[in-house]
Amino acid sequence: MSDALRSLDRNGSSDHGRPATDRHMRIGICCYPTAGGSGVVATELGKHLAERGHSVAFISYANPLRLGELPPRVCYHEVDQESHVLLKQFPHSLTLTAKMVEVARTHRLQVMHVHYAIPFAAAAIMARQIAPELDLKVVTTLHGTDITLVGGSPSFRPVTQWSIEQSDAVTAVSRFLRDETYRQIPLKKEIEVVHNFIDPDRHAVREPMCIPHKRSERQVTLMHISNFRPIKRVDDVVKIFARVRERIDARLVLVGDGPEYSRIRELVDSLGLSEAVRYVGVVDEVAPLLKAADVLLLPSETESFGLVALEAMASGVPVVASDVGGLPEVVEHGVTGFLAPVGDVEAMADACMKILEDCADAKRFAAAARNRAAQRFDYRFIIPQYEAIYERLLGESAARVSSPASSEGRPAR
338 binds ligand GMT (CB under 6 A): no
What's the rounded Cα separation, in Å, for the pair 298 and 296? 7
How far is the C-alpha of 49 from the C-alpha of 72, rounded, in Å?
11
Residue in 41, 368, 374, 393 binding ligand GMT, rule: CB under 6 A: 41
Radius of gyration of the chain (CA): 22
- How many helical (H) and strand (E) elements, i.e. helices and strands, does the chain have? 14, 13
Contacts of 314 (CB under 8 A, 6+ apart): 198, 199, 200, 202, 203, 287, 369, 370, 373, 374, 377
CA-CA distance, 345 to 404, in Å (whole number)?
Answer: 64
Interatomic CA distance for residues 243 and 212, integer angstroms: 23
Side chain identity, residue 38: S
Rule CB under 6 A: choose which of 57, 173, 198, 345 binds ligand GMT: 173
Least distance to ligand GMT from the beta carbon of 343, Å?
16
Stretch that binds ligand GMT, among 35-43, 52-60, 88-96, 364-372 (CB under 6 A): 35-43
With respect to ligand GMT, which residue has the nearer C-beta, 97 or 227? 227
Among 28, 33, 46, 306, binds ligand GMT (CB under 6 A): 306
**Interface stretch with ligand GMT, choices 37-45, 332-340, 360-368, 391-399 (CB under 6 A):** 37-45
**Candidate list 60, 145, 161, 181; residue touching ligand GMT; CB under 6 A:** 145
Q: Are 288 and 257 in contact (CB under 8 A)?
A: no
Confirm or reject binding of residue 12 to ligand GMT (CB under 6 A).
Answer: no
Determine, following the binding rule CB under 6 A, whether residue 196 of this chain makes contact with ligand GMT: yes
305 makes contact with ligand GMT (CB under 6 A): yes
Smallest distance, ligand GMT to C-beta of residue 84, A: 28
Measured CA to CA, the distance from residue 32 to residue 45 in angstroms comes to 14
Is the CB of residue 117 less than 8 Å from the CB of residue 132? no
Cα distances (Å, whole numbers) of residue 221 to 66, 253, 258, 274: 25, 7, 22, 15
Is residue 229 near ligand GMT by the rule CB under 6 A? yes
The 241-280 contact track toward ligand GMT, x by CB under 6 A, reads: ----------------------------------------
CB of 196 to ligand GMT, least distance (A): 5
Q: Summarize as ranges the residues that interact with ligand GMT (CB under 6 A).
A: 36-39, 41, 143-145, 173, 196, 227, 229, 231, 302-307
